Structure 1
Amino acid sequence: MTAAQAMSHPWIQNLTNVKVPLDILIFRLMKAYMRSSPLRKAALKALSKTLTPDELFYLREQFALLEPKHDRITLENIKTALMKNATDAMKESHIPDFVLSLNALLYRRIDFEEFCAAALSVHQLEEFDHWEQHARCAYELFEKDGNRAIVIEELASELGLGPSIPVHAVLNDWIRHTDGKLSFLGFVKLLHGPSSRASAKEQ
């Protein structure tokens, strides 16, 4: 949990003297999101729709710090927010240089709904007791508006699995045999993205 997330906790979020800082984590997550395939973005958007009001509070605070115009943010918003809110830790992390890697945002405008998908942390959500419920509800939404047939090689590429991994053995349970679409297990692996590589090696 980051400092910004701690200050967004339900116990203290109603305190008027508490100001939630800009969180360095959202830039890392947005970078990964912008590099994701349309299929993974659809999966993350489905997951974002299952967030509780308390979980959305943190994201709303972060979105507001980016000072959206007409309820949307651009790369320029991110640069401006960093100039105003950058902490010493951010400066030491070379965040301004890091933002340059978000070039995909140069001609895009992101609304709050997509921001939630881009800035949520799957790894943190799965630490909660209700992660299974989150994931199941998200998969139901994904089934209606996102799931499609995918071949094993495409999914292996999506997850960053190298040629040394026996992909057919590893991914066999991640794709439904009936229609070639992602199973629930495959959906969860897709949410994690390339970081699933370590999990795949263990199986």
Structure 2
Amino acid sequence: MTYVLLSGSRPFWAPTEYELFRAVLKTEPSFEEAPWPSLSPDAVDFVKRLLHKDYRKRLTAAQALCHPWLVGSHEALAKTLTVQQLAYLREQFTLLEPSKDGYISMQNFKTAILKSSTNDMKDSRVLDYVHMELRLGPSSVPMHVVLQDWIRQSDGKFSFLGFVRLLHGGSSQTLQKA
């Protein structure tokens, strides 16, 4: 998901689920094309380590939360990005925001994901896998609670500020204070 949010494309693509799984197993994602060269080395390292083919070397959720890209900087993300990077993030946000009201609904987000999904992914259980991978079982914290800093409880939307902060791994309240 981080690869998609940072680059606007998926690390692997194929028209069918079978071919997609083969691509995941056999190919390496590209970090040569824009925007990767303009991103921080920590951001690129974070994504590469999340996509490591050997699950024993791949970051766990706990390790990812401790990665320098998420915790290393105490400055507001908006102050550390270039004008071009902010423009790129605004463009990506706008693609997810067809109503142009400054917020992304969960339905808009799901629709955007489905637009670039394979034919076999229409009935995908990706959220179930993410839930399982993050070890958010029935007795653990629900997914919506994990994202509550970015998603407004009143209408299920999150703002551009929340979107940018989500990419950096902080809360929207922290960014507003900076």
TM-score bucket (shorter structure): 0.3 to 0.5
TM-score (normalizing by structure 2): 0.37
Higher radius of gyration, 1 or 2: 1
Structure showing the higher helix proportion among its residues: 1
TM-score (normalizing by structure 1): 0.33
